[in-house]
Chain A
């Protein structure tokens, strides 16, 4: 077993610069990574460190320009056939070498499933601290990076500091905004990748799409509307669907609704489902349990419809209607159709 490095031995001053790990998804750099370039710029005023995007994959050099336009001042590219599909072994070997050669003070990763896998292994290999799934970042008076994350399903926030370098952080997608892209010059550094088949201890036999349909739209959508147990039955979901269509929302649901099969499983919002932060969120017939809340409370404007004036959802919504959803929702659908429809005929 490897011995740990005592943190006292780390010379903090010699680690400089911010690294943003860029994850590829569907053949392009993932939005959550671009958001981290935005986050790095927000911190730049106080940190004053160079922002480097690091991208690993099969044919990824062409994306350096895009990364620059979203704020990368330097791009490190590592290409290899064995990086075509994510594996902990290959990715950790390549990324840890890059990090040790460049000695950044911070490495940001999006808190997506594979990045959380990679970051955990990276931190253990480099024997450094890793703060998980942070929702906010700031720099304190001592120029330390403060990593803010929810605990106990969002009932508490804690501020984490790291004694070792590099400080590693996974950041929740949607926590920061991307910059407006603009053409920028960028230094691109291509690294030589040294990977041998023996480096990969596991072997991917097959990759297939899961049966449940991907619901990326849910996380990206400007408007999300979620249905809760207040609908009472599968048949009643029809009025929800009509509303969703009229307003142009991405449909979501609370866990019990998903468990009953009224709405597809991958549309669950909350602790064990997706985290969304749209401009407008509707919680319809949803009580507002903490497990649901952590998945949607960062939405910009939350509308709640519930017939129980004491429902917890009313404590953290922006606009609440106490009333029977079977009366209220069709009225909203009708009004929305009026607004949207009018212009169509004009």
Chain B
């Protein structure tokens, strides 16, 4: 038996984000929300471990009520239950406050876990910090950039391959542990019809701040040591030269510019 918690974030589909042509701000309205891609990989890995050894897979998320859609999707992949931490008090949390909130929920509701799986990063802010900070709050070890996982439930250990900058480390670590997983670990399954029907009966437990308890000043914006002072579109690049005439002419103009800028230099033998 291996009990697993997968932390899942609902994110806007970044590829679909458009820029407002007048204000140059990112337009979020109408952009579809998806399960963060790395987190789907986490769900898939949890399912594969469960298929081998049994156990329970809990999906844990902090987000607005709409995030239920993401949790249903994970349930319909075949996971067992889901907890959504949802409250205005949790809003505008940075990674430390997010990790505090998720870690507290784990302590309160699922303290019998063997593994926690997070994505390497969420595609909206791409910090890649939250998982590591959950592990530190729970005082358990973690391993990042995981490309392969073997679980040995009887020996209470995992053997993990971690890939960093062209090096593969094989690491043995005790259970309980937190892993952050990335592209290339597996190919997530699509929800199947049977599981979709089953998932309708599964419950998503929604927990608010009062219920989660603790010191409310440690949640959300209040509990965040960092805050966003300003958001603005990147400065426009000065318009470049675009040539659409005869290729020969365009090329010779380019070559002149590059030579002038000393970007092509005569080879000194």
Contact = CB atoms under 8 A, between A and B. Distances in A.
Interface of A: 1-4, 6-7, 25, 88-89, 112-114, 116-117, 119-121, 123-125, 127-133, 146, 150-164, 201-210, 212-214, 223, 247, 266, 272, 279-280, 290-291, 297, 301-303, 309, 314-324, 327-328, 331-332, 335-336, 339-344
B240 interface: yes
Contact of A201 (B173, B183, B268): B173
28 contacts: A4-B218, A89-B141, A113-B165, A119-B129, A123-B96, A123-B133, A124-B137, A130-B96, A132-B95, A152-B124, A155-B14, A157-B231, A157-B234, A159-B229, A163-B225, A201-B173, A205-B170, A206-B169, A207-B168, A208-B170, A210-B166, A214-B166, A303-B254, A316-B240, A321-B250, A321-B254, A323-B247, A340-B264
A-B complex: 4 closest residue pairs judged by Cβ atoms: A129-B225, A343-B266, A124-B136, A129-B226
Given A160-B229, A203-B173, A120 B95 contact: yes
Given A116-B144, A131-B226, 13 more contacts: A4-B215, A116-B129, A121-B142, A124-B137, A130-B127, A133-B127, A153-B14, A156-B25, A157-B232, A162-B226, A309-B244, A331-B251, A335-B252
Contacts of A2: 137, 139
A316 B14 contact: no
A120 B240 CA distance: 39
A1 B127 CA distance: 23
A302 B166 contact: no
Interface string B102-146: 011001000000000000000111111100110111110111110
A121 B167 contact: no
Contacts of A205: 159, 170-172
A114 B164 contact: yes
A286 to B, nearest CB: 15
A318 to B, nearest CB: 4
A152 B127 CA distance: 11
A341 B135 CA distance: 58
Contact of B227 (A121, A155, A163, A342): A163
Contacts of B94: 129
Nearest to A118: B132
B55 to A, nearest CB: 22
A261 B123 CA distance: 25
B242 A314 contact: yes
Contacts of B248: 331
B127 A132 contact: yes
Interface of B: 12, 14-15, 17, 19, 25-26, 94-96, 99-100, 103-104, 107, 123-129, 132-133, 135-139, 141-145, 159, 163-174, 177, 183, 215, 217-218, 223-234, 237, 240-244, 247-248, 250-252, 254-255, 257-259, 261, 263-269
A123 B177 CA distance: 19
A207 B227 CA distance: 39
Contact of A339 (B144, B244, B259, B268): B259
Contacts of A7: 225
A129 B224 contact: yes
Nearest to A314: B242
B139 A316 contact: no
Given A127-B225, A158-B231, A207 B254 contact: no
Given A120-B128, A123-B129, A156-B231, A318 B143 contact: no
Contacts of B138: 1
A261 to B, nearest CB: 15
A160 B227 contact: yes
A318 B137 contact: no
Contact of A214 (B17, B128, B165): B165
Contacts of B128: 116, 120, 132
A181 B125 CA distance: 35
A161 B167 contact: no
A212 B166 contact: yes
Nearest to A334: B251
Contact of B269 (A123, A130, A332, A343): A343
B237 A321 contact: no
Contacts of A339: 255, 259, 264, 266
